[in-house]
Amino acid sequence: EAQVTQNPRYLITVTGKKLTVTCSQNMNHEYMSWYRQDPGLGLRQIYYSMNVEVTDKGDVPEGYKVSRKEKRNFPLILESPSPNQTSLYFCASSPWTGGDTGELFFGEGSRLTVL
Amino acid sequence: QKEVEQDPGPLSVPEGAIVSLNCTYSNSAFQYFMWYRQYSRKGPELLMYTYSSGNKEDGRFTAQVDKSSKYISLFIRDSQPSDSATYLCAIRTGGFKTIFGAGTRLFVKA
C-alpha cells in the first residue's frame, strides 16, 4: 500500500529534551516536506526537500532540523524543544515534476506536546 | 496580509444541504488551486484541483476559481454526514511550494 508513515503518532516530552520524528514514504517520491498545523493558522511549512541531500527552509524553520540521506526518509529533529513547538506535525511527499499541482500525500500526523 | 484567507468556521448544515466553502488569495499570479479534505485524526487528502479560472465538477463536488476577484470556492451538493471534515484550500505558488488556508470545519447533521 502506498503510504507516508510517521512515528511516533503521539509524544509528550519536556523542554530541552532532543527528539526526532521519523517519516518514511514508499512511493519513490522526490519531494518531501514537513508541516505543522495549529488552530486558526492552518498548515505551515517547516522544511522541504527536493531530493537526497537537498533541503531548504519553509516558512517556520526556527527550532527544527531535517536531513535527507535516503530518498524514502525525511526525519524532523527538534534539538531543544520548547512549549511553542507543541503542535500537530505532518510529513508529506509528492511526485512533483514541476508542471502540475504537486499533489501532496500526507502521513497521519504526529501530535507533539512539549511541557 | 496572509497569502490565503479562509474562514475556519465551524459550519454546521443539515443533511442534503448545499455547502459553499470559500477562500480568498492575494497574488494574481497563482495558477494551481486545490481543495484538500481532512478527516479527524487523519492527514489531508487531495479532493479536487483547478488550473487557472473556471469550474471543475466531480460528482457532488464543484470547484470554482474566479481569478478576477481572487476567490476560490468549493460547493458540495446533497451533503452527507460522511462529508463532515475540515476542508483546506491550497494554492501552488511559484516554485515548489504549496500554501494552505486555515481550513473550514464542516459538520453535516443527519
Averaged pLDDT score across all residues of chain B: 93
The answer on pLDDT for B1 being more than 80 is no
**Counted domains in chain B:** 1
Residue B70, helix vs strand vs coil:
coil
Question: Using an 8 Å Cβ cutoff, are A46 and A58 in contact?
Answer: yes
Query: Which one has a higher pLDDT value, B72 or B92?
Result: B72
- pLDDT per residue over A49-99, tens digit each? 989 999 999 999 999 999 999 999 999 999 999 999 999 999 999 987 666
The answer on pLDDT for B94 being more than 80 is no
CB-defined contacts A:B, below 8 A: 59
- pLDDT per residue over A4-63, tens digit each? 999 999 999 999 999 999 999 999 999 999 999 998 888 999 999 989 999 999 999 999
Chain A CB contacts of B102 below 8 Å: 40-42
Please tell me the distance from the alpha carbon of residue B67 to that of residue B63, in angstroms, as a whole number.
13
Residue A27's DSSP bridge partners are: none
A12 contact partners, CB below 8 Å, separation of at least 6: A113, A115
Of the candidates B42, B88, B102, the beta carbon closest to that of A108 is on: B42
Confidence (pLDDT) at B77: 98
The residue in chain A having the minimum alpha-carbon distance to the alpha carbon of residue B47 is A103
Cα dihedral sign for A61, A31, B87, B55? positive
Helices (H), B13-102: none
CA B68 to chain centre: 18
The answer on pLDDT for A100 being more than 70 is no
Where is A110: in which H helix or E strand? strand A110-114
Q: Domain containing B98 — which CATH number?
A: 2.60.40.10
Provide the residue range defining the domain that includes B20.
4-109
Confidence (pLDDT) at A97: 64
Q: Which cell goes with B69?
A: 476577484
- pLDDT per residue over B40-66, tens digit each? 999 999 999 888 888 999 999 999 999
Query: Is A106–B6 a contact, with Cβ atoms under 8 angstroms apart?
Result: no
Interface test with B, best of A4, A103, A110 (most B CBs within 10 A): A103
Cα dihedral sign for A58, A7, A22, B37? negative
Query: Is A102–B32 a contact, with Cβ atoms under 8 angstroms apart?
Result: yes
Confidence (pLDDT) at B2: 80
The answer on pLDDT for B33 being more than 80 is yes
